[in-house]
């Protein structure tokens, strides 16, 4: 569902681990991407079943609510790309019970949240120094 700040969706989100960094090498920058979103669609590529995976960056230090429920928020990284990943690669980290409600922010809203967090931290530092 589209909201006034982004897309509210129920999706499987998993953190990128050190092992993932090995097979993801060259496909992402760790300073930007810290999570993978697994689209609920298994695809047979002619040889094996693969999952479609998107790259996400979690928005930290901010609270988000959709329909009165708190949820995590992310920014999609490399919007024009996705990766086909073997089902075995993410074994135990995907599936129907792994989904959660999240908010995927549009870039302008991600930047707005970043500016608001920076202003809040600056205000806190000013109050602490007095």
pLDDT tens-digit profile, the chain (130 residues): 777 778 888 888 888 887 777 777 666 666 666 888 888 777 888 888 888 888 888 888 887 888 888 989 998 887 777 788 887 888 787 776 778 889 898 888 888 888 988 888 887 776 777 6
Range(s) of the domain holding residue 23: 6-129
pLDDT of residue 22: 74
Cα torsion through 18, 48, 95, 33, rounded to 10: 30
Q: Is the CA virtual torsion 74, 77, 83, 88 positive or negative?
A: negative
Residue 99 within any structural domain of the chain: yes
In-domain check, residue 76: yes
Q: Work out how many domains the chain is built from and give that number.
A: 1
Residue 128, pLDDT score:
73
- Would residue 1 count as lying in a domain? no
Q: What is the pLDDT, as a whole number, of residue 117? A: 86
Which pLDDT does position 26 carry in this prediction?
A: 64
Q: Return the pLDDT at 30.
A: 62
Helix H or strand E encompassing 8: strand 6-15
The answer as to whether 123 is a domain residue is: yes
CA angle (102 as vertex; 45, 25 as ends), nearest 5: 45
Residues near 50 by Cβ (< 8 Å), separated by ≥ 6? Answer: 42, 43, 44, 84, 85, 86, 87
pLDDT for position 63? 79
């Amino acid at each position: 569902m589209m909201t006034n700040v982004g897309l509210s969706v129920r999706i499987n989100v998993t953190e990128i681990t050190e092992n993932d960094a090995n097979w993801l090498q060259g496909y992402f920058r760790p300073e930007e991407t810290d999570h993978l979103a697994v689209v609920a669609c298994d695809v047979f590529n002619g040889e094996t079943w693969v999952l479609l995976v998107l790259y996400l960056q979690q928005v930290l230090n901010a609270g988000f609510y959709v329909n009165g429920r708190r949820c995590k928020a992310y920014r999609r990284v490399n919007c024009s790309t996705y990766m086909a990943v073997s089902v075995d690669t993410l074994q135990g980290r995907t599936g129907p019970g792994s989904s959660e409600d999240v908010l995927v922010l549009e870039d302008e809203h991600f930047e707005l949240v970043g500016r608001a967090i920076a202003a809040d931290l600056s205000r806190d530092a000013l109050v602490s120094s007095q």
